[in-house]
Structure 1
Amino acid sequence: MSAVSVHWGPQPPEVESVVVNCEWVMRSLNFSNRLPALHSCRYLIHQQSSSVVEDEHDPFSLVADELSLLGNKLRAMVAAEVPKLATAAEYFFKMGVEGKRFRPTVLLLMATALNLPINEAAAPIELGGDLTTDVRLRQQRIAEITEMIHVASLLHDDVLDDADTRRGIGSLNFVMGNKLAVLAGDFLLSRACVALASLKNTEVVSLLAKVVEHLVTGETMQMTTTSDEQCSMEYYMQKTYYKTASLISNSCKAIAILAGQTTEVAILAFEYGKNLGLAFQLIDDVLDFTGTSASLGKGSLSDIQHGIVTAPILFAMEEFPQLRLIVNEGFENPANIELALDYLGKSRGIQRTRELAVQHANLAAAAIDSLPDSDDEEVRKSRKALIDLTHRVITRTK
C-alpha cells in the first residue's frame, strides 16, 4: 500500500501516547478545538493474509437483541401528537427502512469493549438499582440519541441536496415536502436533546451538543466553498470530519465517560470512532463513482452532479492539474462531468481514496488494540467485532 499523507489544521499539543503492535505509536491529541493530523501508520491489520472477518461472531448479531429493543424505543420516542408530524418523524424508523443501525451497533459494542474495572471514585453517579445495569441503560440511551441525530441530519441533508431517494425509497422531502421534512428533523433533534438532558452528565451533553454544531458547520462549509477550498484536501477532510465522523467519535467518547473510564481510554474510544467515520465516508466517495443506484439506494454520481468535489476527484486533480479548470467551471454542463470522469478514470484517484480509507481503518483498529488488556470473553469478543467492522467498512459495496 502506498503511503498517503494528509494533514489539516495547525498541530495541537500532543498528549502522551500509547505504544501498540508493530512499533506503531498512536498520538492522542487535544480534539476540543481542532482536528488531529493523520499520522503515518505501520499497524496494517488490513494487509494481513488472514482476514479479520473470519471470526465466527457477526458484529450485528452480538447486539441484535439490544438493537431490537432500541428500534422499539426509538419508534416510541419519536411519536408526536400531530399525526402528520408523527408520520414524518417515524419515516426512517419504521420496520424495513431503519437501515442496519450501524452507529448504534458500534456504540453498543464499544460499551461492552470498555467494560473494564474502574476506580470507585470515578464511577458515574448511581441512579438507583444495580450500578452496572444503570450504566448500560445510559449507554443504550447514547445509542438512541446518536441515531436520532443521525436521522435528523439525513432529513435536513436531503432537503438541502433536493434528494428524491434515501435507503432505496422516496426521501421524506420528496414524499411529504421540504417544510415537513425540516420540521421532522427539528423534532428529532428536540427529542434527542430531551433524552440527552435525562443523562444528567454535563460532559456528555457538551460532547453531543458539539456534534450538532459540527453537523451544521460541515454542511455550511459544503455550501459556501471558495474555489481554493473546493480544491483543498485539507478543507475536504475537515468538512468530512464535521459531517460524518464527529457524531460517531464523540458518541464513542460519551460511552467511555458514562462508564467512568480514564481520559486515556476515552481518547482511544474517540480515535476509533473518528477514524472509522472517516474511512466510512471515503468509501462512500468511491461508491458514488463505482456503485450502482440499486446497491447504494441513491443515484450514482450524485455528489459531482450537485457540484460536490470529493476525495477521488481531489486525488485525480493532483495527477491532472488541468482538471481544476473543469472543477472551477462547475458541473451544470453534463460535458464537464464526462470530462471529469475521463480524468478520474485515467488517474489513481479511486485507488488512492481506498488507500486513505484503509489507513484510517488501520488507525481505528489500532485504537481498539491499544485498550487495556482484559480476560473477559465478552469484552474480547466485542473488541474483535469492532475490528471486524473496520474491515467491513472498507470492503462494503453499498
Structure 2
Amino acid sequence: MFASACSKLLRRITFPIRGHRTLSLFSSTGTSSWSKVVSDAEKIVGYPTSFMSLRCLLSDELSNVAMHIRKLVGTQHPLLNTARGFVYDSKNNLQMRGLIVLLLSKAAGPSHAADDALGQDMVSGIYPSQRNLAEIVELINTAFLVHRGVVNLKELTVSDGLLKDMEFGNKMAVLSGDFLLANACTGLAQLNNTEVVELISSAIGDVVQGIYYENYSSAEDGLIDGVDVASWKEHMFLTHGALLAKSCEAAMLLAKHDKQAQTLAYLYGKHLSLGHKLNSDLQPFVKGEMGQPVTFSLNAAPVVFHRQLVGKDRWHQQLQQLDKLMCVFIPTQLLATVKSEKGVSSALDLCCFHSNKALEAIKAFPSSKARSALENIAFAVTKF
C-alpha cells in the first residue's frame, strides 16, 4: 500500500526525462565570484579552457556527427541541449576538469627527476603532455555526458515528443559519445606512459561503475528508501570524484614528481570534486525561492542526510502525511520537509569539510599564482 502511495506521489513530481542526467561537475554556484575565479585561473594557464577540445570538435568526423544532430532540432531530446553546451553555456563550466589539471601542473612546477629536454618544451610552466592530458580528460567527461543523455524510452509520455525522434537521438548519443571516448583513448596511448594509461583507464572504469550503480535504483526506490550516507559517498566518488582525482595524480606522473606530490594532487582533485557536488546538491535547498519551480534529485545530499537522520519509519510517515495533506504534491513541499530538519546543515558541514581538505592538500606546493587560483576554487565551492 505504501509503495503504491509513494508511486502516486512520484508521478506528481516534475523531474527531467529519466536518462537526461548531466555529468557536468562544475555548474555555476550562482555567484559572480565563481566566474571571476575561473576567468582568473584561465589566464594563469595560458588560454581559455573552452578551446581545449576544439581540435576534436572541429574534426571532419565530428562535423558529420553534428550534421546528424541538427536533425533533432525541434524535438525534446536532451542531446540537443548537450550539443548547444559545447558551443556556449553560461551556467556550466564544461572544461573545469582540464583547467584544474593545468593549474596543478603549473603549481607543482618541474620536478628534479625530469629531463632537461622535457623542461625546454614547457609553455607557461606546463609540459605539453600535461596539456594533452587536460584535453583527454575533457573528452572523456564529455563522452560520458553525451552517453548519459540517452533517454529511457519505456518511461516516455506523449508530452515528451515523437518516439522516432527519441530513438534517433539515442542512437546519436551513443555514437557521438563513443567517438569522443575513442579519440580520448587514442590521445591517452600517445602519451607513451603506461602508468598514466592504467590510471585514467581505472578512472573510466570507476565512472562506468558509478553510472551502473545509479541506474540500479529506480526513482520510486529513491523516494521511499534511497541510499544511506556511506553508500552515497562511495557513489559520488565513483561518478564525480574519481576522474578528476586520478587525472590530477596523472599530471604529476607525467612530470615525474614523487609519490607525495602525486598523492596530494589526487587528494585535491578528490575533495574538490566532492565539495562541488555537495554545493550543486545544496543549491535548491539554500537558494530556492518559494513559489518557484523546484528541481532536485531524490538522492541529493540533503535528502540523503535527512532520510538517515530522521530514520526510515519517520521518513515514511512524513511522505504519508504529505500525501494526505496535499491535494497536489509538488517538490516544494518535499523540499520544505527536508529543510525543516538537519539534512541541509549536515550537507553544508560536509561541503566545508571537503573544501578544507582540498586546501590542506596543496599547502605543500610552492606559493604561486597557480596555487592561489586552486585555493580560490576550493573556497568557491562553499559559496552559495
TM-score of the aligned structures, taking structure 1 as reference length: 0.68
Matched, 1:109 2:103: yes
Bigger helix share? 2
Among 186, 207, 216, the residue aligned to 1:224: 216
Match of 1:287 among 279, 283, 286: 283
Which residue of structure 2 lines up, in the alignment, with residue 192 of structure 1? 184
2:57 is matched with which residue? 75
**Alignment correspondent of 1:257:** 253
Could you tell me how far apart the structure 1 residues matched to 2:383 and 2:316 are? 33
Distance change (3 Å), C-alpha of 1:324 and 1:157:
farther
Deviations 1:88-120 (A, max 9, x none): 899257432384321121111111001044225
Cα distance, 1:65 vs structure 2: 1.7
Residues 316, 343 of structure 1: 8 Å contact kept: no
How many residues in Structure 1 have an aligned counterpart in Structure 2? 318
Q: 1:323 to 1:222 in 2, by over 3 A?
A: farther
Q: Against the structure 1 CA distance between its residues 348 and 384, is the aligned structure 2 distance closer, same or farther, given a 3 Å change threshold? A: same
Q: Deviations over 1:121-164 (max 9, x none)?
A: xx5995xx935459621111111111111111112222257899
Q: 2:147 aligns with which of 147, 151, 156?
A: 156
Instruction: Report the more deviating stretch, 319-328 or 277-286.
Output: 319-328
Aligned-partner Cα distance in 2 for 1:161–1:104: 30
CA shift in 2, pair 1:68/1:289, >3 Å: closer
Letter in 2 for 1:389: I
State how far apart, in whole Å, the 2-side matches of 1:380 and 1:239 are: 34
Q: Deviation string for 1:219-245 (max 9, x for gaps)? A: 111121496983311111000000001
**Aligned partners of 1:220, 1:238: CA distance in 2, in Å?**
13
Structure 2 CA distance for partners of 1:108 and 1:148, relative to 1, 3 Å = same
**1:339, distance to aligned residue in structure 2 (A):** 5.5
Instruction: Determine if contact 1:59/1:388 at 8 Å carries over to the other structure.
Output: no
Is 1:354 the counterpart of 2:344? The answer is: no
State yes or no: 1:369 paired with 2:359: no
Per the TM alignment, residue 289 of structure 1 is displaced from its structure 2 partner at its CA by: 3.9
Map Cα deviations across residues 166-202 of structure 1 (whole Å, 9 max, x no partner). xxxxxxx979612211211111111111111110111
Q: 2:136 aligns with which of 138, 142, 145?
A: 145
Distance change >3 Å, CA 363–CA 85, structure 1 → 2: farther
- Listed as ranges, the matches of 1:50-61 within 5 Å are 58-61=40-43
Instruction: Give me the whole-angstrom Cα distance separating, in 2, the residues matched to 1:220 and 1:326.
Output: 30
- Residue of structure 1 in register with 2:22 after alignment: none
Deviations 1:30-68 (A, max 9, x none): xxxxxxxxxxxxxxxxxxxxx999999922332352526
Decide whether aligned partners of structure 1 residues 135 and 395 sit closer, same or farther in structure 2, where only a CA change above 3 A counts.
Answer: closer
**Distance 1:301-1:382 versus aligned 2 partners, 3 A rule:** same
Stretches of structure 1 lacking an aligned partner (at least 5 in a row): 1-50, 165-172, 294-298
- Check conservation: 2:69, 2:172, Cα contact below 8 A: no
TM-score, scaled relative to structure 2: 0.70
Separation of aligned partners in 2, 1:285 and 1:158 = 19
Query: Which residue number in structure 2 is paired with residue 388 of structure 1?
Result: 376
Query: 1:9 matched to which residue of 2?
Result: none
Contact 1:78 1:191 in 2 (8 A): no
Residue type of the alignment partner of 1:189: L
Aligned residue in 1 for 2:19: none
The answer as to 2:273 corresponding to 1:312 is: no
C-alpha displacement at 1:78, in angstroms? 7.8
CA shift for structure 1 position 69: 4.7
Give the percent of matched residue pairs that are identical in Structure 1 and Structure 2: 24
Q: Mark the runs of 5 or more structure 2 residues left unpaired by the alignment.
A: 1-32, 71-78, 157-164
Could you say if the C-alpha distance between residues 125 and 233 of structure 1 is closer, same or farther in structure 2, counting changes exceeding 3 Å?
farther
Say which is worse superposed, 102-111 or 381-390, in terms of deviation.
102-111
Could you say what secondary structure the match of 2:179 adopts?
Answer: helix
Cα distance change, pair 69–339 in 1 and its aligned pair in 2 (3 A): closer
SS in 2 for 1:335: coil
- Distance in 2 between residues matched to 1:71 and 1:342, nearest whole Å: 41
1:155 alignment partner AA: V
2:270 maps to 1:274? yes
Query: What root-mean-square deviation, in Å, do the aligned CA atoms of Structure 1 and Structure 2 show?
Result: 4.0
Q: Report the residue type matching 2:358 in the other structure.
A: A
In 1, Cα distance between equivalents of 2:234 and 2:206: 10
Alignment match of 2:175 (pick from 178, 183, 188) = 183
Verify the 8 A CA contact 2:102 2:126 in the aligned structure 1: no
The whole-number CA distance in structure 2 between the counterparts of 1:273 and 1:57 is 19
